[in-house]
Amino acid sequence: MRRRPPGFTLIEVMIVVAVVALLALIALPMYSEQMRKGKRAEAAQALGDMQLREESWRADNPAYGSLDNLTGSAAASTAFNNGLKYYTVGVTTPTATGYVLTATRKGELANDPKCGNFTLTMTAGVVTKGVSAGDVDYCWRR
Protein backbone atom coordinates (compact mmCIF):
# COMPACT_ATOMS: atom_id res chain seq x y z
CA MET A 1 0.00 0.00 0.00
CA ARG A 2 1.34 3.39 -0.98
CA ARG A 3 1.33 6.25 1.54
CA ARG A 4 0.57 9.80 0.56
CA PRO A 5 3.47 12.20 1.00
CA PRO A 6 3.07 14.64 3.91
CA GLY A 7 2.01 18.20 3.13
CA PHE A 8 -0.94 20.25 1.98
CA THR A 9 -2.93 19.94 -1.18
CA LEU A 10 -3.30 22.89 -3.51
CA ILE A 11 -6.98 23.24 -2.58
CA GLU A 12 -6.16 23.47 1.13
CA VAL A 13 -3.56 26.17 0.49
CA MET A 14 -5.99 28.14 -1.69
CA ILE A 15 -8.66 27.99 1.03
CA VAL A 16 -6.20 29.30 3.63
CA VAL A 17 -5.11 32.13 1.31
CA ALA A 18 -8.75 33.07 0.66
CA VAL A 19 -9.55 33.16 4.39
CA VAL A 20 -6.47 35.29 5.15
CA ALA A 21 -7.36 37.69 2.31
CA LEU A 22 -10.91 38.01 3.60
CA LEU A 23 -9.72 38.73 7.13
CA ALA A 24 -7.27 41.34 5.81
CA LEU A 25 -10.04 42.98 3.80
CA ILE A 26 -12.10 43.39 6.97
CA ALA A 27 -9.33 44.18 9.45
CA LEU A 28 -7.27 46.72 7.49
CA PRO A 29 -9.94 49.46 7.21
CA MET A 30 -10.84 49.01 10.88
CA TYR A 31 -7.18 49.29 11.88
CA SER A 32 -6.68 52.39 9.72
CA GLU A 33 -9.71 54.12 11.26
CA GLN A 34 -8.53 53.34 14.80
CA MET A 35 -5.13 54.84 13.97
CA ARG A 36 -6.77 58.02 12.58
CA LYS A 37 -9.01 58.20 15.65
CA GLY A 38 -5.96 58.12 17.91
CA LYS A 39 -4.31 60.87 15.87
CA ARG A 40 -7.45 63.04 16.10
CA ALA A 41 -7.00 63.08 19.88
CA GLU A 42 -4.07 65.45 19.28
CA ALA A 43 -6.53 68.11 18.07
CA ALA A 44 -8.78 67.78 21.11
CA GLN A 45 -5.80 67.89 23.46
CA ALA A 46 -4.20 70.91 21.76
CA LEU A 47 -7.48 72.85 21.71
CA GLY A 48 -8.08 72.01 25.38
CA ASP A 49 -4.60 73.30 26.20
CA MET A 50 -5.25 76.53 24.28
CA GLN A 51 -8.62 76.93 26.01
CA LEU A 52 -6.89 76.83 29.41
CA ARG A 53 -4.31 79.34 28.18
CA GLU A 54 -7.10 81.64 26.92
CA GLU A 55 -8.85 81.62 30.29
CA SER A 56 -5.58 82.26 32.10
CA TRP A 57 -4.79 85.16 29.73
CA ARG A 58 -8.30 86.63 30.11
CA ALA A 59 -8.00 86.62 33.90
CA ASP A 60 -5.21 89.23 33.61
CA ASN A 61 -6.28 91.11 30.46
CA PRO A 62 -9.40 92.90 29.15
CA ALA A 63 -9.78 90.55 26.17
CA TYR A 64 -8.85 87.03 25.11
CA GLY A 65 -5.45 86.63 23.48
CA SER A 66 -4.02 85.72 20.11
CA LEU A 67 -1.89 82.61 19.65
CA ASP A 68 1.26 84.72 20.06
CA ASN A 69 -0.11 86.14 23.34
CA LEU A 70 -0.87 82.66 24.64
CA THR A 71 2.49 81.11 23.73
CA GLY A 72 4.62 84.17 24.47
CA SER A 73 5.87 85.09 20.98
CA ALA A 74 5.55 84.34 17.28
CA ALA A 75 8.54 82.01 17.54
CA ALA A 76 6.91 80.16 20.43
CA SER A 77 3.69 79.85 18.40
CA THR A 78 5.65 78.30 15.55
CA ALA A 79 7.43 75.96 17.97
CA PHE A 80 4.10 74.96 19.52
CA ASN A 81 2.65 74.07 16.11
CA ASN A 82 5.85 72.32 15.04
CA GLY A 83 5.43 70.11 18.10
CA LEU A 84 2.08 68.94 16.77
CA LYS A 85 2.35 66.20 14.18
CA TYR A 86 -1.15 66.10 12.70
CA TYR A 87 -2.72 69.55 13.31
CA THR A 88 -1.90 73.26 13.28
CA VAL A 89 -3.61 75.28 16.01
CA GLY A 90 -4.79 78.85 15.55
CA VAL A 91 -6.79 81.50 17.39
CA THR A 92 -9.19 83.66 15.40
CA THR A 93 -11.32 86.61 16.45
CA PRO A 94 -10.30 86.96 20.11
CA THR A 95 -12.54 89.59 21.75
CA ALA A 96 -13.51 90.54 25.28
CA THR A 97 -16.33 87.97 25.27
CA GLY A 98 -15.04 85.09 23.16
CA TYR A 99 -12.68 83.45 20.71
CA VAL A 100 -12.49 80.70 18.12
CA LEU A 101 -9.77 78.05 18.36
CA THR A 102 -9.07 75.96 15.27
CA ALA A 103 -7.08 72.79 14.68
CA THR A 104 -6.36 72.43 10.96
CA ARG A 105 -5.31 69.04 9.58
CA LYS A 106 -1.81 68.51 8.25
CA GLY A 107 0.46 65.61 7.37
CA GLU A 108 -1.14 62.17 7.34
CA LEU A 109 -4.55 63.54 8.31
CA ALA A 110 -4.67 66.24 5.62
CA ASN A 111 -7.27 64.23 3.70
CA ASP A 112 -9.17 62.76 6.66
CA PRO A 113 -12.79 62.77 5.42
CA LYS A 114 -14.36 61.58 8.67
CA CYS A 115 -13.85 64.65 10.89
CA GLY A 116 -11.98 67.37 9.02
CA ASN A 117 -10.77 70.35 11.02
CA PHE A 118 -11.70 70.90 14.67
CA THR A 119 -13.05 74.13 16.20
CA LEU A 120 -13.71 75.22 19.75
CA THR A 121 -15.78 78.41 20.00
CA MET A 122 -16.28 80.43 23.18
CA THR A 123 -19.05 83.03 23.01
CA ALA A 124 -20.26 84.82 26.14
CA GLY A 125 -19.34 81.92 28.41
CA VAL A 126 -20.73 79.16 26.17
CA VAL A 127 -18.26 76.70 24.64
CA THR A 128 -19.21 74.96 21.40
CA LYS A 129 -17.19 72.18 19.80
CA GLY A 130 -17.28 71.64 16.06
CA VAL A 131 -15.76 69.81 13.11
CA SER A 132 -15.73 70.68 9.42
CA ALA A 133 -17.00 67.21 8.43
CA GLY A 134 -18.72 64.35 10.21
CA ASP A 135 -20.35 63.92 13.59
CA VAL A 136 -19.14 66.28 16.34
CA ASP A 137 -19.70 63.78 19.17
CA TYR A 138 -17.85 60.99 17.34
CA CYS A 139 -14.90 63.20 16.42
CA TRP A 140 -14.42 64.81 19.84
CA ARG A 141 -14.69 61.49 21.69
CA ARG A 142 -11.23 60.43 22.83
Residue 129 maps to a domain: yes
Read off the pLDDT of residues 1-56 as tens digits, 9 standing for 90 and up: 778 778 888 999 999 999 999 999 999 888 988 888 888 999 999 999 999 999 99
Q: What is the CATH number of the domain that holds 80?
A: 3.30.700
The span from the CA of 85 to the CA of 110, in Å, is: 11
Residue 4 maps to a domain: no
pLDDT at position 142: 64
Residue 3 maps to a domain: no
pLDDT at position 32: 86
Tell which residue, 133, 59, 67, 126, has the closest CA to residue 101.
67
Domain that holds residue 93: 10-140
pLDDT at position 8: 82
How many structural domains compose the chain?
A: 1
Specify the DSSP class assigned to residue 72.
Answer: S
Residue 32 maps to a domain: yes
C-alpha pair distances (Å), 91 with each of 8, 23, 44, 68, 98: 63, 44, 14, 9, 11
Read off the pLDDT of residues 77-136 as tens digits, 9 standing for 90 and up: 999 889 999 999 999 989 999 999 999 999 888 888 889 999 999 999 899 999 999 899
Residue 5 maps to a domain: no
Residue 70 maps to a domain: yes
Give the CA-trace dihedral at 135, 136, 139, 142, to 10 degrees: -140
Residue 14 maps to a domain: yes
- Contacts of residue 85, defined as CB under 8 A and 6 or more positions apart, other chains included, come to 39, 42, 107
